């Protein structure tokens, strides 16, 4: 049986997968790591409630996120004038929402696991607030990287939201996970399996890179 | 660290701008919500480039069930819809979500099942009789169960047979999945299923556990007019929502129903399957081929 996708179409799918998931992971991390730090380092009324919400959000079904984003971005919805439905930005938004609680929650637990004595020590050495948090984040980097890995794992293979708000449009919004669903639906099991292998290899490479960050002190700008 | 912040922010701004612009500066985009049968059969891939070239447009195909396609049109999230559930299409136009419905093409439904045919439906006179035999034998039946055009047709046939299939009895499986998944389920479990002939022909090589048991080997041999499967195209009413590509949608309908495109529809699949997957049926085509 001839494979349904030619080489260039396949690379288009891979490229879009990297672009969508990468952007969502970046946005999720930029928002999630500070929010996770905030939850770890501050105490305020209602914090426990928010933490419970974050933990619940770690189990958000992607298709529910997709449905909510669809209703927001639909032309009959409040943000319809943006015209983002069935475009990559819609998928990025949905995947950011899916990744966010994972990044927040695991960053928080990672930071909370750092020895409290260390905080006193850092302050005693005269560090200001931002220096203190950055040092603690560095100490907790295993946890922070685990947070990013979890966020990545939550969205790279996610299909419910990508299908609903992306539409699996050939050459526009088709990513690996939705392509796998399509090929499976069409009975092209072998090709679906190849795509699955490709998805796993991508995840493997990304995880290896992230794990290196966990163990090696990264270049620390300006310090 | 603060020194670096502006650089980081500008990097973000650049990437955001890149994201925002990626969908701009391209030819006009027409969004077509259609059923999985037209997309998965490869028909649209075969004919759409013709429209895209002549109209400097790009057609974004969102392939979903008929129910969801109509919903997308209703919400203004598609410019034009191409589906197959006549009564619901008429209701869609009557409710003024769509401007009008135009005949495009037809094919037919068939009943497929395991070669040993435990319910003995081979040779019955109508689809309703076939369904009755399946229900009486309590032979496994795989239903799309997804509000699609095929599911709608299946419900019509159960009504004709005056049977209300009960999932609790253990022989009727409402899957809530697409045609491909449903056929795969039927093949694996030795179940009967209602399928559109186009999708079945397209996937037959992957379905060793199924044969056509009612509906014959081609549409000419299909004894039951109930199994006629008509596809209609409906431009979405632009008065309902901002941003609907009404002009392009109208041009698309004109193109799809034109004699030239209709001839292409009529020849698609002949080489591979020995018969067309869809039969042209637009007004222009019928006038030219009375």
| pLDDT tens string B138-169 | 999 999 998 889 999 999 999 999 999 988 88
What pTM was estimated for this model as a whole? 0.82
Chain A positions touching B22 (Cβ under 8 A) are 88
Q: Where do the domains of chain B lie?
A: 26-106+230-288, 107-227
Q: What distance lies between CA B288 and its chain's CA centroid?
A: 26
A9-32 pLDDT, tens digit per residue, is: 899 999 999 999 999 999 999 999
Beta strand B80-83 pairing with B28-35? parallel
Chain A positions touching B60 (Cβ under 8 A) are 86, 167, 169, 172
Question: What interhelical angle do A129-139 and A7-41 show, nearest 10?
Answer: 120
B170-181 pLDDT, tens digit per residue, is: 999 999 888 888
Chain B positions touching A87 (Cβ under 8 A) are 23
Low-confidence ranges of chain A (pLDDT < 70): 1-7, 216-223
- Whether B36 sits inside 8 A of A168 (CB atoms) is no
CB-based contact B200:B110 (threshold 8 Å): yes
Class of the CATH-defined domain B26-106+230-288: alpha beta
B96-155 pLDDT, tens digit per residue, is: 999 999 999 999 999 999 999 999 999 999 999 999 999 999 999 999 998 889 999 999
Q: B70 is written with which tokens?
A: 């109509």
Distance CA A197, CA B230 (A): 39
Distance CA B31, CA B38 (A): 15
- Whether A184 sits inside 8 A of B180 (CB atoms) is yes
Candidates A167, A182, A183: best to mutate against B (most CBs of B within 10 A) is A167
Q: Does domain B107-227 have CATH number 3.40.640.10?
A: no
Strand partners, A118: none
* B26-106+230-288 matches B107-227 in fold: yes
Burial pattern B141-174, b for ≥16 Cβ within 10 A else e, equals: bbbbbbbbbbbbbbeebbebbebebeeeeebbbe
Question: What interhelical angle do A7-41 and B4-21 show, nearest 10?
Answer: 140
The mean pLDDT of chain B is 90
Strand partners, B141: B172, B192
Average pLDDT, integer, range B59-85:
94
CB-based contact B237:B98 (threshold 8 Å): yes
CB-based contact B31:B75 (threshold 8 Å): no
Q: How far is B180 from chain A (nearest CA, A)?
A: 5
Nearest CA-CA partner of B97 in B231, B239, B247, B251:
B239
């Amino acid at each position: 049986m001839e494979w349904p996708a030619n080489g260039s179409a396949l690379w288009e799918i891979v490229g879009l997968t990297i672009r969508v998931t990468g952007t969502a992971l970046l946005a999720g991390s930029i928002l999630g790591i500070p929010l996770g730090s905030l939850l770890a380092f501050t105490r305020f009324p209602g914090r426990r409630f928010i933490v419970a919400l974050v933990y619940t959000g770690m189990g958000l079904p992607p298709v529910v996120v997709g449905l909510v984003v669809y209703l927001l971005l639909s032309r009959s919805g409040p943000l319809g004038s943006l015209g983002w439905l069935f475009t990559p930005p819609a998928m990025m938004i949905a995947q950011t929402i899916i990744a966010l609680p994972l990044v927040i929650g695991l960053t928080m637990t990672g930071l909370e696991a750092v020895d409290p004595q260390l905080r006193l020590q850092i302050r005693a050495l005269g560090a200001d607030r931002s220096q203190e948090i950055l040092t603690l984040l560095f100490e907790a980097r295993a946890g922070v990287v685990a947070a990013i890995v979890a966020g990545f794992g939550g969205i790279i293979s996610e299909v419910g939201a990508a299908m609903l708000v992306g539409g699996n449009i050939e050459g526009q919004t088709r990513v690996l996970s939705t392509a796998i669903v399509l090929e499976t639906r069409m009975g092209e099991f072998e090709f679906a399996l190849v795509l699955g292998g490709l998805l796993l290899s991508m995840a493997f490479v990304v995880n290896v890179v992230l794990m290196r960050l966990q163990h090696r002190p990264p270049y620390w700008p300006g310090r | 660290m603060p020194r670096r912040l502006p650089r980081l922010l500008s990097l973000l701004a650049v990437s955001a701008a890149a994201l925002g612009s990626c969908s701009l500066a391209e030819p006009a985009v027409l969004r077509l919500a259609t059923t999985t049968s037209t997309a998965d059969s490869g028909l649209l891939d075969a004919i759409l480039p013709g429209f895209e070239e002549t109209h400097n447009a790009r057609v974004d195909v969102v392939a979903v069930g008929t129910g969801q396609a109509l919903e997308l049109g209703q919400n203004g999230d598609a410019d034009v819809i191409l589906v197959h559930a006549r009564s619901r299409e008429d209701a869609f136009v009557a409710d003024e979500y769509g401007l009008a419905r135009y005949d495009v093409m037809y094919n037919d439904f068939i009943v497929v099942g395991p070669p040993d045919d435990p319910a003995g439906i081979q040779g019955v006179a109508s689809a309703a009789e076939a369904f009755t035999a399946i229900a009486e034998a309590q032979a496994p039946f795989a239903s799309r169960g997804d509000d699609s055009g095929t599911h709608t047709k299946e419900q019509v046939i159960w009504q004709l047979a005056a049977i209300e299939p009960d999932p609790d009895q253990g022989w009727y499986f409402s899957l809530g999945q697409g045609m491909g998944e449903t056929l795969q389920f039927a093949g694996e479990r030795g179940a009967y299923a209602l399928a559109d002939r186009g999708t079945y022909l397209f996937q037959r090589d992957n379905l060793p556990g199924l044969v056509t048991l009612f509906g014959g080997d081609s549409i000419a041999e299909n004894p039951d007019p109930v199994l006629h499967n008509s596809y209609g195209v409906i431009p979405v009413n632009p008065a309902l929502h901002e941003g609907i590509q009404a002009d392009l949608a109208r041009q698309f309908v004109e193109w799809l129903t034109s004699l030239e495109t209709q001839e292409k529809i009529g020849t698609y699949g002949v080489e591979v399957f020995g018969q067309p997957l869809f039969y042209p049926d637009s007004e222009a085509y019928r006038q030219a081929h009375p």
